[in-house]
């Protein structure tokens, strides 16, 4: 980004009666004007102004382009937005400077000479692929018109399509219904210029026989694409602007339509001056808002005034004594414009279409290399393409099988608790035939099921290899600990005394390491107790499954409530954001309304001040 000021030139219109009140400095960059009216009022009559260069009255159109226009066109060709605009009172030579005269070829203005230079550079800069598009717009009575519209039946300016201003979300202005025409040669570009000039609004006033009654913007859009497949593209625009001249009604003797035109012209120029003042205040950190939207002309020139552009101003004035007041006003405005700072940047970017084409070519090249390498490997291995496809199909099937296994494992992982309860219930029902009527108390935890010992709670002891007195023996009849209910195969006396036919229940002990079930000695089962136990276990399993389902339901409900709460919170945040945005928009509207009222008051104050000064001059 390059920050630079606006370059300001002053051009003096040739006259047969130059006033001695105008004195150009020896350095060719200053102008001294003696204000007779100020001297009569007792004020300082010397007005000194500084410019980048003062163009003398005898300068030719070719010299004006060499000093003013050539550098601007060069900047546009290098990729920078550029603007040249002429400002001054009516009849001071603005249109002659920008467009030129129509009688002699030597009187060509900046626009035709710029077009000639552009196409000459196109031919000399063969390293790029150039293209140029042209638009020509006129702002008449604060309404935009497309001067290059080729519709049939156009007899007046009002018959042309209206150009609308559109602003996007980034604050950039776009012109709707403004046509753009591609020019492939200097001749085509000049034909577009002549077509637009024939549609311009021109009227006769007391100060100018062919006075421009509108602001005109001739724009050339340039595009340069790098040669050799480069993906860089430069885009720039060149504005060549002929502003309507400020008018004093009592001098131009305007009435009727010309009076109404003068009102719109002076109002838009006043808004232009307000923008310049605001930009100067922004440079001093005293103001942030710039009133570009007040008029269509300032909106279109937004980039040229304080934006991404390199801008040149040509201030035109007349050296006659009768125009001293207007000349001083023009020079004051030029001094304010010179203080404006622009931030010009090189408009170069990567062309997406070129990048995509290059990447596609690389992909095709790599694919061809891979296919060639794969075919070479197949020929070396003695394989054919069908064999390769079969191998690829086998790999895909293996991947699908692995994916199905992962899905099954994941599903089982999330439902393992419910499945476990169901499995336990099925196992209990399957093992029901081995459940015995009397409960057994296991007195040993030997890993060998044949060596495990059981004790019948309600009757005589039962043991593998037990003695007559109920002594439990292990490993070849070694005496063991006597259980409570006696030992032996026939049972002890205390066990027989207590075995009164009471309902008992057998306990199953399973070996978890070997997953084998130890079957206790045969005892007469009680079918009633067995059925009740089975029903009890089934009931417990059903209750357990019910609890698991309730836990799952509670978890789903809790998750749903959390999602609803999050959605409500998000909706509330969005509603608050919309309210804040609406409040901000309301504040902006109030601020714009207040600013508009303030500018209207300033305009009427300025108008009354100028009227007072005019009255003083008349009285003088």
Binding residues for ATP: 88-95
128-140 and 143-146: which strand pairing?
Answer: antiparallel
State the greatest distance between any 2 C-alpha atoms of the chain, in Å, as a whole number: 157
3-class DSSP state for residue 608?
helix
Distance of CA 104 to the CA centre of its chain: 52
User: Residue 231: how many CB atoms within 10 A of its CB?
Assistant: 17
Specify which residues 46 forms β-bridges with.
Answer: 34
User: Count of alpha carbons within 13 Å of 469, Cβ hemisphere only?
Assistant: 5
Contact (CB, 8 A) for 252 and 310: no
In contact, 217 and 167? CB cutoff 8 Å: no
Is residue 351 within 8 Å of residue 227, measured between CB atoms? no
3-state secondary structure of 531: helix
Distance CA 280, CA 287 (A): 9
Residue with tokens 């609004």, as numbered in its chain: 201
Structure tokens at 593: 């309304």
Q: Are 606 and 271 in contact (CB under 8 A)?
A: no
Binding residues: 88-95
**Distance between CA atoms of 382 and 379, rounded to whole angstroms?**
5
Residues 382 and 384: their CA atoms lie apart, in Å, by 7
Which one, of 403, 379, 383, lies nearest residue 391 by Cα? 383
**d(C-alpha 304, C-alpha 298), whole Å:** 9
User: Is residue 85 within 8 Å of 76, Cβ to Cβ?
Assistant: no
Are 325 and 618 in contact by the 8 Å Cβ rule? The answer is no
């Amino acid at each position: 980004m390059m920050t630079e000021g606006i370059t300001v030139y002053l051009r003096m219109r040739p006259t047969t009666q130059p006033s001695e009140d105008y004195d150009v400095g020896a350095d060719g960059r200053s102008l001294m004007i003696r204000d007779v009216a100020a001297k009569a009022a007792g004020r300082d009559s010397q007005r000194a102004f500084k410019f980048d260069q003062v163009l003398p009255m005898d300068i030719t159109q070719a010299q004006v382009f060499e000093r003013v226009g050539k550098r601007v066109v060069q900047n546009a060709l290098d990729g920078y937005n550029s603007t040249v605009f002429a400002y001054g009172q009516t009849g001071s030579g603005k249109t002659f400077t920008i467009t030129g005269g129509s009688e002699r070829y030597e009187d060509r203005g900046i626009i035709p000479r710029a077009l000639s230079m552009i196409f000459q550079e196109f031919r000399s800069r063969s390293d790029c692929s150039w293209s140029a598009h042209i638009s020509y717009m006129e702002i008449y009575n604060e309404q935009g018109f497309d001067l290059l519209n080729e519709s049939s039946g156009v007899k007046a300016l009002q018959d042309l399509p209206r150009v609308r201003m559109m602003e996007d979300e980034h604050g950039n202005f776009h012109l709707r219904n403004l046509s753009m025409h591609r020019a492939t040669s200097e001749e085509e570009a000049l034909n577009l210029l002549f077509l637009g000039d024939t549609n311009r609004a021109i009227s006769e006033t007391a100060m100018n026989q062919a006075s421009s009654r509108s602001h005109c913007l001739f724009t050339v859009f340039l595009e340069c694409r790098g040669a050799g497949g480069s993906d860089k593209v430069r885009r720039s625009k060149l504005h060549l602007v002929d502003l309507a001249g400020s008018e004093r009604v009592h001098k131009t003797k305007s009435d009727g339509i010309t009076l109404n035109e003068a009102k719109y012209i002076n109002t838009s120029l006043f808004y232009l001056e307000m923008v310049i003042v605001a930009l100067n205040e922004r440079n001093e950190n005293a103001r942030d808002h710039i009133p570009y939207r007040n008029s269509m002309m300032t909106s279109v020139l937004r980039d040229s005034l304080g934006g991404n552009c390199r801008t040149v101003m040509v201030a035109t004035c007349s050296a006659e004594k009768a125009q001293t007041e207007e000349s001083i006003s023009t020079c004051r405005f030029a001094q304010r414009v010179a203080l404006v700072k622009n931030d010009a940047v090189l408009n170069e970017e990567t062309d997406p279409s070129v990048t995509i084409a290059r990447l596609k070519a690389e992909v095709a090249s790599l694919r061809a290399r891979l296919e060639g390498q794969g075919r070479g490997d197949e020929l070396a291995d003695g394989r054919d393409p069908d064999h390769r496809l079969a191998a690829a199909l086998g790999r895909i099937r293996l991947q699908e099988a692995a994916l199905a296994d992962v899905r099954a494992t994941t599903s089982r992982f999330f439902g393992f608790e419910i499945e476990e309860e169901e499995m336990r219930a099925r196992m209990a029902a399957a093992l029901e035939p081995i459940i015995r009527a009397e409960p057994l108390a296991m007195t040993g935890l030997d890993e060998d099921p044949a060596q495990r010992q059981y004790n019948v709670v309600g009757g005589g002891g039962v043991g593998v290899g037990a003695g007559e007195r109920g002594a439990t023996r292990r490993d070849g009849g070694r005496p063991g600990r006597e259980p409570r209910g006696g030992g032996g195969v026939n049972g002890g006396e205390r066990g027989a005394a207590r075995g009164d036919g009471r309902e008992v229940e057998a306990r199953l002990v399973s070996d978890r390491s070997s997953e084998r079930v130890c079957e206790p000695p045969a005892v007469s089962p009680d079918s009633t107790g067995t059925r009740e136990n089975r029903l009890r276990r089934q009931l417990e399993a059903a209750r357990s499954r019910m609890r698991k389902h309730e836990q799952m339901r509670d978890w789903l409900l809790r998750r749903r409530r959390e999602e609803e709460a999050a959605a409500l919170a998000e909706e509330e945040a969005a509603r608050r954001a919309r309210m804040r945005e609406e409040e901000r928009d309301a504040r902006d509207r109030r601020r714009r309304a207040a600013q508009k009222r303030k500018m209207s008051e300033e305009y009427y104050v300025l108008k009354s001040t100028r009227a007072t000064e005019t009255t003083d001059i008349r009285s003088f």
